[in-house]
Structure 1
């Protein structure tokens, strides 16, 4: 069985990879939007499907990048009380952090449970966005990215719980 540190490094590499893919999607969207604007203004011909590509990509980007935000302790939350607790009552603060991470895991696990059949239907029914003859785009790639990001996020939450139970804290 692999050592936990090897598993953690693998999870962190996968998380970083998903973050990079999300960043590349952002760059791609910028290029597409700029091309659309130039096409509209210079040639009177917008790029077909830009709204559809943007709507699918934004959700995928969020799910691909949020695991890295959690790993880097940059997930949005109010730290005022917990930071004071870490100084005055570290065990209580650690217990609260574990509860927070377990609840995060449960929320993401629920999302995964609900998302799986949606992804399967999109693949089986060959769902797409757009209009036939103008622009169509399958939805399954974006839904797969949502699944990958959610799995990585759930694993990051569990990683944090295990690290807190074993070490008492989570390293940055």
Structure 2
């Protein structure tokens, strides 16, 4: 998913450069670039979230973990497991909350843009939010299980 997001970033970059060149040198901007870029930012974030969770590069304040790490490895893993469990719950709720709008976009063939000028269906973007959230929830579950295994290993020693 992250690779798709990376390619998408490159494609958006090319589209924006083409729009700027077309607008400034030829007086012919590309219609819909602002709308595509705006929707793409959200989609790219949700595509890259699961990889960030699994690689432990998701931004968080770790000052408490650094202090705790010096005193208790088990406590650090316990806090990590709690963080991952809360993340799994929150992203599962995001996926569940986004699903009704996604299903509605499917039923009504929802689009964005200006009818008759330029339109794009919203369904792919909404599906990315749902699947990205669900994948992030699963990634947090994997992370929580890894922390649980670390806790069990620290007990066995």
State the TM-score, normalized to the length of structure 2. Answer: 0.92
Displaced runs of 4 or more, over 4 A: none
Instruction: State which of 42, 48, 53 in structure 1 corresponds to 2:31.
Output: 48
Q: Which runs of 5+ in 1 are unaligned?
A: 1-17
- Is 1:103–2:103 an aligned residue pair? no
Q: Which runs of 5+ in 2 are unaligned?
A: 153-157
Q: Deviations over 1:21-53 (max 9, x none)?
A: 111110110011011101101111110001110
Q: Which residue of 2 aligns with 1:20?
A: 3
- State the alpha-carbon separation in 1 of the partners of residues 10 and 107 from structure 2: 30
The residue correspondences of 1:108-119 to structure 2 (distance < 5 A) are 108-119=91-102
State the TM-score, normalized to the length of structure 1. Answer: 0.84
Shift of 1:111: 0.4
The residue correspondences of 1:3-152 to structure 2 (distance < 5 A) are 18-152=1-135
Q: Deviations over 1:114-138 (max 9, x none)?
A: 0111110011111111112211000
- State the alpha-carbon separation in 2 of the partners of residues 133 and 123 from structure 1: 20
Over the residues paired in the alignment, what is the CA RMSD in angstroms? Answer: 1.3
